[in-house]
Structure 1
Amino acid sequence: MSNNITTPEYLFESSWEVCNKVGGIYTVLSTKAHTLQQIFNDKIVFIGPDVWTDTKTPDFIEDTVLFADWKQHALSQEKLNIKVGRWNVPGTPPVVLVDFKPFFKERDAFYFSMWEHFKVDSMHAYGDYDESCIFALAVGKVIESFYHFYKLENKKVAALFNEWMLGMGALYIQKQLPAIATLFTTHATSIGRSIAGNNKALYAYMDGYNGDQMARELNMEAKHSLEKQAAHYVDCFTTVSDITAHECKQLLDKAPNIVTSNGFERNFVPEGKVYTEKRAIARRTLINVAEKLLGSPISSDALLISTSGRYEYRNKGIDVFIEAMNRVRTSGRLQREAIAFIMVPAWVRDARADLKEVIEKDIKTTSPLQVPFITHWLHQMREDKVLNYITHAGFTNKASDKMKIIFVPCYQDGSDGIFNKAYYDLLIGMDVTVYPSYYEPWGYTPLESIAFGIPTITTNLAGFGLWAAKTVSGNDINEGVAVVNRTDFNYFEVADTIANYILSYAQKDKKETETIKQHCFDIASKAEWSKFITYYKTAFGIALEQAQKRNN
């Protein structure tokens, strides 16, 4: 296959998370942008939702010169309400944000055409389905407008759509502009996530599950139908890990054409003196908040442990994390002071006024604040699973306890009222992280951790964990990544294994931890986008070739 077929001259990539930080896909795209921009040099266009209407759009820099003639035409002739600029991430690639609300009036006709041509069944839609699909339609219209305006008919053009939310965008382009090569990436099947989230054993019975039947049972028919048809119809279907590839094959009846693993960019990690300074500041911040909340002094070399990610209590293994920390606490083997942070955004009502005041005025607290396990008040505190399990497990956070646990339920965006630091500026202060996921198609959090030189414990049910276990043995925290064997049924063994890793790490001296940090950097360098982009290049080639066949 000659190279000129394999690389598109123009690439469009769309997702609900372009310039819109909701979850892990933001990390995928914002870190990949730099490498794509190096390849395409402004011929990569990211398309995201304009959900900001009047407020300032974060991470978006307006550029009045970029595609100005097309923008004018799209606004005046096609009534496309768009913002054109650059994404404020390394590489600053072109980005178009589109206001999709005006297209709601086309919904019924659009859904009918999706049923007629691709058998996508939107009959049982609810929740975020309409909003996502209408955004996908708007993305299709943006690509169509750009394509015709710049006369790209004789160019090699590819369009990559992320997650079921953009499935209809891929199908719309396939129908309207068959010359464009379409790619569709699922980062987790909607039905697999749902099976796992409904406390059903996903892995033990995987080979017996029928995706369509489970979609009916779990009221997921519309999303599942859309995701499945997109996977079957596009020119190249990809997913992010071997574990999700198996899930796609079983639940969508379609194996991906290729696995496109998620990389990371080193340019997000400070180096040298800046690294040392940022780490010191992060540790001071974390320990200060803990001291004020708990009302007792904490050693400056306390072992700081964290978990983070979306609030999926079982899927992300938050329950196992608390259980494991409790085993460390009650083991009688912990010599060092330790604080475990659960950095998982929940339904926050407000930053705690009492905690905020003692931090801002630097008042030394001598007794714990009320509910000394949480930094922000929540709506429905009594129903919160994390808080309930912490108290159920018997944590007290008393000064005499070597192990203490703190729930940080806010987004770390730099303005949460207590820490006021971005996530990476806190992560860099940790000693070790734990992500005991039950359902995790890839798993950025452990990759981010080692990229920052912090050893991590994850599981073989995470795509990243499986990848790491091919790179290192996976059964030794000294290597930088420990990969715990997790099944549907070995919850307590997993908690024990994690507790033992933490206890062994707590005894390491400075020289040993420096070596481990180096191992972390080494593994992370193998997962940089410069290495992983080759999977995408192959995917583009597959899509272009398929589109060519389809059009002949």
Structure 2
Amino acid sequence: KKIVEISKSEDFIGKIFFVENYDITLAKYLVQGVDVWLNNPTRPLEASGTSGEKAILNGVLNLSVLDGWWAEGYVKGAGWALKEERTYDNQEFQDALDAITIYNLLEDEIVPAFYDQDKKGVPDLWVDMIKKNIAEIVPNFTMRRMIEDYNNKFYKPQIKRTKELESNGFKIAKEIVKWKSKVLEKWDSITILGAEYPDSNVRPLVLGEKITVKLKLDLDGLAPEDIGVEILFGRKRPDDTEELLYVFSLKLEEVDGSIALYKREIPATMSGVYDFTFRVYPKNKLLPHRMDFPKVKWI
């Protein structure tokens, strides 16, 4: 509503158009009649941006934030991109920066490439970009690619997995059920006996220094190999940890009865102040992936 009102002001009359009842029929006309598809969503709120996908199939060059489909599709020399990372937390500041970036791209790269023509009136650079767009981006956004992905990533692995579970009278399936039952019975009994990690609030980490982290658990009947332990590094902000930076797996260091010590030495790849947290999860080589048994204990 606010944008509609602004579009009626003197500065914007004739410059903003709203297309009602937008559908594939209208899209056909749009993607055939445009040279640059500009899309500048607010990061990271772009659901996909499928109109831009339709545009590339018609040789249209995209200028967009690296969000939605363009984060996957962008190829240098076959369109233009605004970086995915935000520079400012303040949205007004970020919008102003994006606007300046877009204008600079238009003035310094896009417009010159479009109007720089040879003696026959052909913009060679522009045509080269269209060819690169069709050759290197388009094949990744076709129905064939989608079907191949479903087949190779889901259907074939699931067929293989089903055969494995059914073989030898469902031997593997029975082992998994037995193991999951044991873990579920003992999961809430896992006790944290101690955790060691650097307090970067006292002293910021220095680039290259070795950090030793440890976690001691009482597994109460579970085997040490039934458990995976990780430490997560986050970027420190005034009130919260907003960005996950690194995840490292800890290795089993020693076992004393039901007590297991996990340890890892990690080189600091960035200086500064971090937040740390451990997570413990069930681990078994028979599981196809971790989310097959979505239990986790945060420390």
- Same fold judged by TM-score > 0.5? no
TM-score range relative to shorter protein? 0.3 to 0.5
By relative contact order (CA 8 Å, sep 6+), the higher-ranking structure is: 1
The structure that is helix-richer by fraction is 1
Question: Whose Rg is larger?
Answer: 2
* TM score, norm. by length of structure 2: 0.42
More strand by share: 2
